[in-house]
Amino acid sequence: MRRHCEKEEVFNNLCARNKRRLLALARACVGPSHYLELYREMGFEIWRSLEGYEGSAHLDSWVYRVALNTALHFRENANHSIQSCDAIAEEQVPYSASVRTNQSEFQKLEEFIHSVPEADQAVFLLYLEDLSCREIADITGLGDSDVSIKINRLKQSLMERCIRA
């Protein structure tokens, strides 16, 4: 009984610390219509996998890795579609000039993210979450220099796309 209570306490702390990041990942992977479903699935997988945590990576990095793998698997198996940012905006935000500009910029970023391979999407989403190259490397299993190179290439590609648009 005590072990279950300890696991529950660790799980609750992990979820509280990583909630914003996990919700952002879920929304980026499947859009606004299914992100809560994916978020719940992430929580289930984190709970299920917690006893298998071996301590080789920081616990928050491990959580994000489990969540990322869950998101990729969820998206592949469920074949969920990503809504455009315009549809998201119509559901949630009244229009004004500044909102339309922000939506346009957000839409470009979202389209860019979904145009790159899944491994690059993961790296870029982690970069957008302000994680260090070391943290991204721990989560993705890539080397520090590989992460740095990917991030630089992705930023350059995004800039080129924005300039052309």
> For the chain, which domains are there?
1-83 (1.10.1740.10)
Tell me the per-residue pLDDT of 46-85, one tens digit each, with 9 for 90 and over.
999 998 888 877 888 889 889 988 988 887 776 534 433 3
CA 105 – CA 123 distance, rounded (Å): 20
Locate 162 and state its tokens. Answer: 């924005």
**Quick one: DSSP state of residue 84?**
P
Measure the N-to-C terminal CA separation of the chain; round to a whole number of Å. 59
Residues 6+ apart with CB under 8 A from 49: 66
SS3 content of the chain, % helix, strand, coil (to 5): 80, 0, 20
Query: Is the pLDDT at 127 greater than 80, yes or no?
Result: yes
**Structure confidence at residue 2 (pLDDT):** 64
The pTM (predicted TM-score) of the whole model is 0.60
For residues 17-40, average pLDDT:
86
